[in-house]
Structure 1
Amino acid sequence: MSRARLLLLCPGQGDQHTDMFSLARTSDAASDLLDQLAVRADGDIFANRNAQPLIVAATLGMWEAIRDFAPSPALVAGYSIGELSAYGVAGAITPAQGIALAAQRAQLMDACQQAAPGQALLSITGITLANAEALATAHGFHISIETGEDTCIVGGPAAQTEALQQAIEASGARSRRLPVEVASHTTYMQSAVTPFEDALRATPFQPMQAPVLAGVDATTVEDKPRAIDTLSRQLAEKIRWLGCMDAAAEAGITVALELGPGAALSRMLQNRHPHIATRSVADFRTLDGIRKWLDRATED
């Protein structure tokens, strides 16, 4: 019996595109599921209210397309909205529940943005997390996601963006403003936490088929109370993605597959832990290509 341990990665926003369902739809089962979910990649696919349900639908549609030939995952991890997708992959919630929760999550976050307009997200590269946090705090920003030892995303007031970017450049680091107007995973989203917690509590959960890594503390979650706590808290607390990647390695993960769209998570994991065989479904043209790679990667 193979000793391979599979991690499934569920992406966040940023890499969605109009053909994001095409590969999954080559599976009849996935195509039927996507028809039932009635989510379409048209209109403004980067608007928060559209993007979050789209990402969840694409991820769970892809899982439906490959689940019959993929090994059972030892662990599932999701980045931002991808953490909600992860609970669908783990069997705790249905795809329809995932879409409904994603829509509620987006609506609650948009309400926070409307209550405090003028928010921005920046990526910072080439400076330690401690120094990045000090610069961010001095300009009213907060770390939103820790993506590496010298890379992170920060959220804060758009009016201070230029001043912060100048300070980052003066420190010898680099920054880029992201096309997002919601300072997710910061205190700007605090008023969304309790309503989303209530929405999760009202959602029936099934027994989890695999543990999910919590973004807020990189620990494994295996029951509904912890899922409610960590999924709601992550709206207003930073995501420790660096810690999640390290936790996966410590758990003995040998193979990782990102369910798409995009390949940002697989690239980060490959750079951080090159001993883990890592790919994204976005690397493949066919489902059979994914199957063959999984067969090779999970051989004992």
Structure 2
Amino acid sequence: MADRIALLCSGQAGQHAGMFDLARSDPHVAQLLQSWPLEEVCGRPLQEMLADESGLFDNLVAQPLVIAAALSTWEAIRHSLPPPALVAGYSIGELASWSVAGALAPEQTIRLAATRARLLQACVMPDRPQTMLAISFAQARMPLADLAPLLQSHGFHTAIEVDADSIIAGGLLDQADALEAVVVSGGGKVTRLPIQIASHTPWMHEAVVPFEKAVADSGMHAPACAVLAGISGARLHDAAAAPAVLARQLAEPIRWHAVMDGINEAGTTLAIELGPGSALSRMLKSRHPHIHCRAVAEFRTLAGVKRWVEQHLD
């Protein structure tokens, strides 16, 4: 049986100045990028945005750029491999996954990403900035199950369930130091993420309804392959499901461990992360080591991606 290929669409935090370089080595993709509405929705030319290292993590810029990076990479490699069996995306990457699956044109997906970013940003009060923390309790004295009350007492909530002992939490920046101190005192580890909104938590509640409407009005049609829902890991084949799942994940936790298990349960043997970054491929490889998994960002050339795929096809 031919390998079942899964595609992974990255979330925020992996942006860098060279995030489009490999995709733009394909002249056709370079032209496509010029025609996509990045400058329109971000207000700056692409090269100017890429040259501004700190600006790459501005939420209003980051979300459209992450979407465009995944979609341009997909355009650059799509003719070098068989059609995927399923697509999954992490956070903003879930929106990209519907486009990769053929349900929505790249231009409209980029505009939806900009709408998503604006709606989320509107949930952040100027005098109460937000942040996200990666929290791990591997080899710690505090069970992860006991973390929820601690998070809430500091204005934080679970945003992404990564594994049995690892989460991403979102909440108020002015409470982050105190929360970190308690977690570290319990043997946990905390890493600050370059994200300035508490995505996937109740802090984003007001963005849910308007974003669901924006997706419903986008003209999305049925995907050519299954798309995994971030809030559950369920396989979706109907575009009618997209508005609700893409909107709900703004204010509900992403269950990434369930998504990774869904990838495995589908019989996936080969997984490719479109980027930017390679965090998803590392996580999947750690949880399901029998799946051949790499990120496009690990390759120097598009030809190298093609050769690797060919080596692992039945």
TM-score of the aligned structures, taking structure 1 as reference length = 0.96
Partner of 1:180: helix, strand, or coil? coil
What pairs up with 1:44-83 in 2 under 5 angstroms?
Answer: 44-83=55-94
Give deviations 1:259-285, integer Å, cap 9, x for gaps.
011100000000111000000001100
Q: Given residue 225 of structure 1, which amino acid in structure 2 is its aligned partner? A: A
The 1-side partners of 2:194 and 2:18 are apart by 20
Match of 2:116 among 102, 105, 109: 105
The 2-side partners of 1:185 and 1:7 are apart by 24
Q: Given residue 201 of structure 1, which amino acid in structure 2 is its aligned partner? A: A
The 2-side partners of 1:260 and 1:123 are apart by 19
Query: Equivalent residue for 1:269?
Result: 284
Query: Equivalent residue for 1:118?
Result: 129
Q: Given residue 93 of structure 1, which amino acid in structure 2 is its aligned partner? A: L
The 2-side partners of 1:297 and 1:11 are apart by 22
Match of 2:183 among 153, 159, 168: 168
Query: Equivalent residue for 1:191?
Result: 206
The 1-side partners of 2:15 and 2:195 are apart by 13
Superposition RMSD in Å: 1.3
Q: 1:239 to 1:271 in 2, by over 3 A?
A: same
The 1-side partners of 2:241 and 2:144 are apart by 27
Give deviations 1:16-58, integer Å, cap 9, x for gaps.
1111111001112211211111531434111000000000101
Partner of 1:215: helix, strand, or coil? coil
The 1-side partners of 2:157 and 2:185 are apart by 19
Name segments (4+ residues, structure 1) moved above 3 Å. none
The 10-residue stretch of structure 1 (102-111 or 43-52) with the greater mean CA deviation from structure 2: 43-52
1:285 equivalent to 2:296? Answer no
Partner of 1:67: helix, strand, or coil? helix
Query: Equivalent residue for 1:27?
Result: 26
1:294 equivalent to 2:309? Answer yes
Structure 1: gaps of 5 or more residues: none
Partner of 2:251: helix, strand, or coil? coil
Structure 2: gaps of 5 or more residues: 39-45
Query: Equivalent residue for 2:219?
Result: 204
Query: What fraction of aligned residue pairs are identical, expressed as a percent?
Result: 47
**Superposed displacement of residue 159, structure 1:** 2.1
The 2-side partners of 1:104 and 1:192 are apart by 10
The 2-side partners of 1:207 and 1:177 are apart by 38
Q: Given residue 3 of structure 1, which amino acid in structure 2 is its aligned partner? A: A
**Superposed displacement of residue 296, structure 1:** 0.9
Does the 8 A contact of 2:119 with 2:207 survive in 1?
yes
The 10-residue stretch of structure 1 (237-246 or 220-229) with the greater mean CA deviation from structure 2: 220-229
Does the 8 A contact of 2:10 with 2:275 survive in 1?
yes
Q: Given residue 210 of structure 1, which amino acid in structure 2 is its aligned partner? A: C
Partner of 2:6: helix, strand, or coil? strand
Does the 8 A contact of 1:124 with 1:132 survive in 2?
no
Query: Equivalent residue for 1:85?
Result: 96
Q: How many residues align?
A: 298
**Superposed displacement of residue 3, structure 1:** 2.4
**Superposed displacement of residue 179, structure 1:** 2.2
Partner of 1:91: helix, strand, or coil? coil
Q: Given residue 56 of structure 2, which amino acid in structure 1 is its aligned partner? A: I
The 2-side partners of 1:116 and 1:103 are apart by 23
Match of 1:137 among 152, 162, 168: 152
The 10-residue stretch of structure 1 (122-131 or 100-109) with the greater mean CA deviation from structure 2: 122-131
The 10-residue stretch of structure 1 (77-86 or 27-36) with the greater mean CA deviation from structure 2: 27-36
**Superposed displacement of residue 115, structure 1:** 6.5
